[in-house]
Amino acid sequence: MSAPLRQAEIDLDAYRANLERVRGWMHPVEVMAIMKADAYGHGLEPIALAAVDAGIRWIGVLTVPAALRLRAIGVGEDVHLFTWQHDPALDFRDAIDSAVDLGVSNLAELQRIVEAVDQRPARVHLGVDTGLHRDGSSIDDWPALVEAARDAQRAGRIEVVAAYTHLAESSDDDDAASVSLFEAAIERAEDLGVDVPMEHVAASLAGLERKEFRKDMVRMGANLYGIPGADGVSAADLGLEPVMTVTASVAKTKRVPVGTGVSYDYTYRTDDETTLALVPFGYADGVPRSAQGRVEVAINGKRYPIAGRVAMDQFLVDVGDDDVQVGDTVVLFGTGERDEMTVLEWGAALDTIGEEIVCRIGARVNRVYSGHSVEGRVGEYLRGEHA
């Protein structure tokens, strides 16, 4: 049987197993499952429903529209949906009415939220910048933000749910300094009359390695997808399972003579008479042009390097005299069980991180969900039976 043209298999049982393992590590601290970038390219709705079925009650989705997608498929208000990157033109009314938690970084953002409040207070997390410099209030502006939040809460317009920051994960000393800044900011907030019920500081790496930074909740992303962030640490080392396996099919084969130039610019030439196999998976699908000669794919349990430039829609591999046929499965990355590279190996080969690799997998690569977890609400969603 021929393999699908392009496919990403998402193992929901692996995701849930990772989730349970991570929750065990973090206990008794709460875990927020991070699902930004369409759940790291794995598909937001199925991943979220699987997480909710496993008992997760905090999900981070970056934007309000993503949170509203989850409310629309039946993720109820017993699950808190945290968002923190807001369109400057966004009307917060739907988010507030749907009990979406809103990260707030500045006075203008808070004012827009307060003005959008109708029948229920907005759920707000106050963000403070402790050194990453991409989100949160500056230390200098923090007192004014806290005072405005205090007044809005006393007026019944908002509920301060939490305060948060994000660490740069540059070094132990830098992170410790950032946490000290955060703790000082919390003390200042309390002095100004705002009780902070919950604090969250650490993401995947810091949450894993620095127990003292876990506070009340850890925002856990990459580890849940079987992509550990620590240098030199594999998923197997931590007992995690890669969730995404990407495959394609051999679309064509061609016998060529010695010295044949392959793909654009002839950056690869054959050393012998050989067979070239065409794989319909290009940079439009998430394989960067830099993968030539650095990434290997597996066909019939054997690895072959990408030969020649990666094109928009395909790349070629030199399979020599091996018996490779049209329709054979090509495994780009996965668990390693078929001698294929893992996503961490791809990241190392391409001087990046595994998260970037999975997030690059394009929309025309069909996502197929597997495992016993494809039941209940997940199955209903995949069959189009959700409300």
Mean pLDDT of 90-95: 97
Output the average pLDDT for the chain.
Answer: 95
pLDDT in tens, 141-194: 999 999 999 999 999 999 999 999 999 988 889 999 999 999 999 999 999 999
- Look at residue 231 and tell me whether its pLDDT is greater than 80: no
Supply the pTM of this predicted model. Answer: 0.95
Mean pLDDT of 267-293: 97
> Looking at residue 387, what is its pLDDT?
56
> Looking at residue 162, what is its pLDDT?
98
> Looking at residue 1, what is its pLDDT?
54
pLDDT in tens, 20-44: 999 999 999 999 999 999 999 999 9
Q: Which neighbouring-strand residues pair with 126?
A: 104, 163
Among residues 211, 252, 264, 266, which one is catalytic? Answer: 264
Reading across the β-sheet that carries 274-279, which strands appear in turn?
252-256, 274-279, 315-320, 302-307, 296-299, 329-333, 244-249, 6-11, 366-370
> Looking at residue 379, what is its pLDDT?
87
Higher pLDDT, 272 or 373: 272
> Looking at residue 4, what is its pLDDT?
86
- Look at residue 370 and tell me whether its pLDDT is greater than 70: yes
> Looking at residue 325, what is its pLDDT?
97
DSSP string of 328-361, one letter each residue: -EEEEESSSTTSPPPHHHHHHHTTS-HHHHHHH-
The structural domains of the chain, ordered by start, are: 12-224 (3.20.20.10), 244-370 (2.40.37.10)
Mean pLDDT of 351-357: 96
* Helices within 192-332 (DSSP H only): 204-209, 235-238
Residue 264 is among the residues annotated as catalytic for this protein:
yes
Confidence of residue 79 (pLDDT cuts 50, 70, 90): very high
Confidence of residue 209 (pLDDT cuts 50, 70, 90): confident
Residue 215 is among the residues annotated as catalytic for this protein:
no
Which range, of 104-108, 132-136, 229-233, averages the lowest pLDDT? 229-233
Among residues 15, 36, 283, 369, which one is catalytic? Answer: 36
Half-sphere exposure of 20 (CA within 13 A, CB side): 9
> Looking at residue 374, what is its pLDDT?
84
